[in-house]
Structure 1
Amino acid sequence: MIMHVEHHDLHHEFPEYLDSIHALKAASEPFGHMYDEYQNLTREVERLEEEDLPVGDFTIENMKKHRVFLKDQMYRMLVAHKNGD
């Protein structure tokens, strides 16, 4: 049975910040690193869920928690960038 997995890439999460995402990826090394880590984590979580691979619940939960942490950090940077801070 194939499980439907919701996609969590930043372009789906923050469509109103597309320009800021692209600008910060180019201009901010910390944002770029967080973005890459977030995207890699998202791909791995989605792969594990889609393929229903045997992995501990805590492993996926910790990955998701770390992804939320990264998303919160990047969101703050996106808001500041959009507001010209």
Structure 2
Amino acid sequence: MENHILTNEFPEYVQKIAELKTNDDAFRKMYVNYEEVNALIQHYEDGEVNHTTDEHLTELRRKRLHLKDSIYSYLHSN
């Protein structure tokens, strides 16, 4: 499985991500939300027994994509 942690998604922003998640409450909230959703998806994808529906997993992936877009916009503009 592909790893979707933010530093893999945006390697050009590794330093900025580290700074913002320490110093910017708005960014930290987006970052934590993204990481929680990503970890949940990873849990469902890696588990031998999937305890969710395909629809729920698809919705989680959409949420992750939306968060990723928001984070990219924030990184790009700040």
What TM-score, normalized to structure 1? Answer: 0.84
Over aligned residues, Cα RMSD in angstroms?
A: 1.0
Structure of greater Rg: 1
Instruction: In structure 2, list runs of 5 or more residues that go unmatched.
Output: none
User: Helix, strand or coil for the counterpart of 2:2?
Assistant: coil
**Relative contact order: is structure 1 or structure 2 higher (C-alpha 8 Å, sep ≥ 6)?**
1
Consecutive unaligned residues of structure 1, counting only runs of 5 or more, are: none
Task: Work out whether 1:39 is the aligned partner of 2:13.
Answer: no
Q: Secondary structure at the match of 2:73?
A: helix
CA distance, structure 2, for counterparts of residue 75 and residue 30 of structure 1: 13
Matches within 5 A, 1:1-85: 5-52=1-48, 53-81=50-78
TM-score, normalised to structure 2's length?
Answer: 0.91
Give 4+ residue runs of structure 1 displaced > 3 Å after superposition: none
Give percent identity, aligned residues only: 30
Residues paired across the two proteins, number:
77
